[in-house]
Amino acid sequence: MSGRALRAASVAARRTKASAATGPKAREDDPLYVRSIEKAFRVLRAFGAGRRSMSLAQIAAATDLDKSAAQRFTHTLERLGYLRKDPETKRFALAIRVLDLGYHYLRSSALAERAFPYLMHLSRATEETVSLTVLDDTDIVYVSRFMSRHMLNTDVMVGSRLPAYCTAPGMAMLSRLPADQAQAILRRCERRPYTPQTVWRLPDLLAKRERSARQGYAIAIEEIYPNDISLAAAVLGRRGEVLGAISVGVSRLRAEAAEAEERFAPLVTAAAQALSQAGPTELA
């Protein structure tokens, strides 16, 4: 497994564990909350790059369920077609039907549909990797991605989740949120330095947010991955609400940070502004 894949697996594992530990507690006073559904999704989220297949005991440990409950949930999910079970090893893995959930989201997302021609145009104009992301609490999630032919290796794909605080799309979206809301998100983030270049201390992040707000875009230089430069601008609705962000990623082996910022910041900003003005308020 590559270094990037290991880092991505580590991020996913921490988020799965945190969700399993805090989700039910955070909702224990909600009379409408169906915990069995939460536990079923907890089982599905336990799988990832570091856990491609698991035994029943491993699933129970990863989801904080007892073995009897894990057995009931895995059996039901297998019958529904979302898990498959190896008849010889008895290990479980995600089944292809899991992709239906992402497919239905993309087909029903007006933002993803409207963004397609803008992303395509930006991809052709820059010949670099272009993405559309949305903010999900303290993370960003990739909902569309056009890979560059110059990108030799990456583990970031549609559905990938990364921390908002140290990514250009995350900071671009945070810069357009109300200050108190953005600060609350930054405080909730599991902040740590992924690389020596990661900006992760709260005062520095607040200063970076203010700078991004002033210039209309955000830039992240090797904050998660070595040699990675990313620039992003937020996509807004008609009421000024943050819907997502468009970003361009370029390898530092192809351009230094100052050159990348000069070349791509105006293009990514223009694309985000055009998409912001393109459709109805209910783009998301």
Q: What is the pLDDT of residues 174-216, one digit of tens each?
A: 999 999 999 999 999 999 999 999 999 999 999 999 999 999 9
Domain count across the chain = 2
Chosen domain end from 99, 133, 151: 99
Q: What is the pLDDT of residues 87-125, one digit of tens each?
A: 999 999 999 999 999 999 888 899 999 999 999 999 999
Final residue of a structural domain among 99, 132, 159: 99
Whether residues 178 and 251 fall in one domain? yes
**pLDDT tens, 216-272?**
999 999 999 989 999 999 999 999 999 999 999 999 888 899 999 999 999 999 999
DSSP assignment of the chain, as one string? Answer: --HHHHHHHHHHHHHHHHHHHHHHHHTTT-TT--HHHHHHHHHHHT-BTTBSSB-HHHHHHHHT--HHHHHHHHHHHHHHTSEEE-TTT--EEE-GGGHHHHHHHHHH-HHHHHHHHHHHHHHHHH-SEEEEEEEETTEEEEEEEE--TT-------TT-EEESTTSHHHHHHHHHS-HHHHHHHHHHS----SSTT---SHHHHHHHHHHHHHHTSEEEESSSSTTEEEEEEEEE-TTS-EEEEEEEEEETTT--HHHHHHHHHHHHHHHHHHHHTTS-S---
| 124 and 37 part of one domain | no
Amino acid 28: pLDDT:
64
Domain termination site, one of 65, 99, 133:
99
Together in a domain, 68 and 126: no
Would you say residue 282 lies in a domain? no
Q: Are 18 and 25 in contact (CB under 8 A)?
A: no
Residues 122 and 65 in one domain: no
Q: Is residue 37 part of a domain?
A: yes
In a domain, 284, yes or no: no
The model carries a pTM of: 0.81
Co-location of 89 and 119 in the same domain: no
pLDDT at 40 over 60: yes
> 45-69 in b/e burial notation, b at 16+ Cβ within 10 A?
ebbbbebeebebeebbebbbbeeee
- Whether 17 and 122 share a structural domain: no
The reply to whether 49 falls in a domain is yes
Here the CATH number for the domain that contains residue 84 is: 1.10.10.10
- Together in a domain, 253 and 120: yes
Regarding whether 256 and 219 lie in a shared domain, the answer is yes
* pLDDT band with cut points at 50, 70 and 90 for residue 152: low
Residues 193 and 250 in one domain: yes
Residue range(s) defining the domain that contains residue 7: 3-99
* CATH assignment of the domain containing 192: 3.30.450.40
Burial class (CB in 10 A: 0-12, 13-18, 19+), 216: middle
Domain-located, residue 281 = no
- State how far the Cα of 278 lies from the Cα of 274, in Å rounded to an integer: 6
> What is residue 153's predicted lDDT score, i.e. its pLDDT?
56
The verdict on 127 and 94 lying in the same domain is no
In a domain, 181, yes or no: yes
249 located within any domain: yes
Whether residues 95 and 113 fall in one domain: no
Residues 115, 18 share a domain: no
